[in-house]
Each structure stands twice: as structure tokens, then as C-alpha cells.
Amino acid sequence: MAGRLALAGFALACLASLAGCGGTRPPASAPPVGASREASRIAPADLARFRDALAPHGEWLDLEPYGTVWAPLGVRGDWRPYTRGRWIYTDLGWLWLGEEPWAWATYHYGRWKQDADHGWIWVPSSTWASAWVAWRRGKGWVGWAPLPPEAGWSAADGLTLSGSDLDRAIPERTWSFVPSQEFTSSKIQGRIAPVGRNATLLPLTTGVTRYGLAASRPVERGMTAEGVGHGRPPRPARVVAARTPRLNRAEIVSRSLVQVYRPELIQDAPERDRPYSSARGLGGSPLKTLLARDRREQSKLEDALRSERDRLTRQQASEARTPPSGVSRDALKRRHEFEIKEQERFEVELRAQAGRRKEWLAGR
């Protein structure tokens, strides 16, 4: 498998060069062995808090080599992290405002990984950040992807993966790309490029991920505010703590403030609220109900894939009418043909994964 992946990465890089893509494509190979995992050091109290709050929305399981992980239920087969919500610029870097009721935990603690049998799984950890993602930008595009479990964090050493090691650890199809001017859109999910275009956009862009430390918190400074959205760069909002989420949201934006639920900041406060459950007021979600909801979402997969193929066709047609600067029509045609093949490959892999996930859930 590693050999086939390496050969595929070499062929893709060659094709990108022929197509006039430019830039450097992240090498396609397995993540480094032995990378430290912050998730393995999660405090028992934090794990218990996550278990109680996330149980109504998914399934906890033990998965080697990560230990206890969580798989969301009721999400469509083509769903991926950091796509339902929006980005907002803060004094701690770009912060993800997720729409899911479990966003307060899974987008600010821990890491995500796409497992062959269970789909997306979340590996918990104890350290909060505005978002745990890698960044790329260039040629009018911005891209982000969930950091993998191998990308640990420590205040002394920072992120344990960087540069080409980080590139290798992130699968191509987990990246989300949007035009730079659409990056601050409140409807960013509909602006994300079809996955088949990642084959073009990865070599067009450059990795800019740069995590540091500020006020004892991890802060990502590589993805700056310049050149995104419309007009002037946004002024950073100040992040302040909230005692509980409101309206099933982890963050509430109010003028120049973002109120963020970070339970470790209130766990020792007197008269603290009882542990938060994101299913409060919803009557809970017993497993049977969750599985039924999950089946309904999976039944929408083919329609979603068809819609994404149509979007790819429309985007390519628009690009063909006005080719990018410096790209010949023949090179653009080759690029488009390769994007279509990549989209088809993605769909085949996704259907196969959906089938394995269905088998797993059938035993629940």
C-alpha cells in the first residue's frame, strides 16, 4: 500500500507540473512512526467530561493505537470536520465557530482521523485551541485540514509535526479549500471546492502552519488576516470564557468579543454548573434513535456526490471560459481531466468506506 501511495504521489506531482500548476505538492506517504500523541496524555476527568457530553451524539470505542475515541453519528458519508460553521479572527488566531452541538469539544480539543472502518473519529485531548488545523494558502485560495493524532502539542516544544512531516500526515481528501475572498463567509460550507480539485489546489498553495504559545495557550500565527474576505483585514475579536454554551453553540460572538465555553476554566469554580451535556433540552439521543438518524443521513450520500460532481463541472466550465493566468488551454484541459479522475476515485473510496461503516453499525 505504501508503495502504491508513493507512486501515486510521484505521478500526481508530474502531472501537476505538466498542467502548469506550479508550487510543491505535499509528498504522499505514511505519517511518521513514533510521533508523540498529546491525546495519550488526556486527564481522566477531561475524558469523563467528554464521554458524558458526546455520548448522545455518537459512539465511544477503543481503537488502537489511539485508545478511547469518539465517532459521530447522524452525519452524512461525505461529511468532514471544520466544514459546517465559519471562521472568525481572534486574538488567539482563527477560531472555528462550529454548528454541531458537539463543536465545543471536537473542534477545540483533540484531533481528527478518517478511519477505514468507522469513518471520521475524534481522538480527545486536554488542551484547548481556537482550532486544531493545518493551513495552506496561495494563488487566491485558502485551505485547511484537521490535524491528525500524530500532531501532538506541548508548551515546551510546540507542535510535534511541521513542514513536510505534517504534509505527509494529512490525506489529500481531508483538505478544504475556498477562494480567499470567501474565507470569512458565514456560509462557507457551500464555498468549499469539490474534493477532486484538491489535486490542483495542493500544489498551487504553500503550507503556512505555525503554532506558538501566548498566555500559556497554543496560538496559530501562520494564517494571517491579510488578503482574505472583502475589504480590509478583520480586526481580531477578544476571546473570553463562558460558563456554559448557549443555543447548543460553543462560541457566542458579541461585537468585538467571542464567548467560548472552556470547561477546564470553570471546573474548580464554587457553585459551578452541573457538567454540560449538549443534548440538554433535546430529550437525549438513545442509540436506536441515533442509528436511525445516521441511516437517514447515509441515504443522502449519492445525491450529495452527484451535486458535488455538478459543481465541479460548473467550476471547470467557468475556468475554461477564462483560463488562469499563465496556464495554456491544453494544460488546463489536462488539469480538468485529472480533477475528474480524482473526484471519481474519491467517490469510489467513500462508497467503500460507507459500506464498512454500515457493517460496523449493524452490529450495534
- 320-348 pLDDT tens trace: 999 999 999 999 999 999 999 999 999 99
More confident residue, 290 or 2: 290
Cα–Cα distance measured from residue 212 to residue 222, given in angstroms and rounded to the nearest whole number: 9
- Asked if residue 179 has pLDDT above 70, the reply is yes
Give the whole-angstrom CA distance, residue 245 versus residue 203.
39
Q: What pTM did the predictor assign?
A: 0.84
pLDDT at 258 over 90: no
Quick: pLDDT tens for 27-76.
443 443 433 445 446 778 788 889 999 999 999 999 999 999 999 999 99
The reported pLDDT for the residue numbered 241 is 81
The C-alpha torsion from 127 through 47 and 146 to 119, rounded to 10°, is: 180
Mean residue pLDDT of the chain comes to 83
At 260 the pLDDT is 85
275 vs 91: which has the higher pLDDT: 91
Q: What percentage of the chain has pLDDT greater than the value 90?
A: 64
- pLDDT exceeds 90 at position 108: yes
Domain boundaries, the chain: 2-362
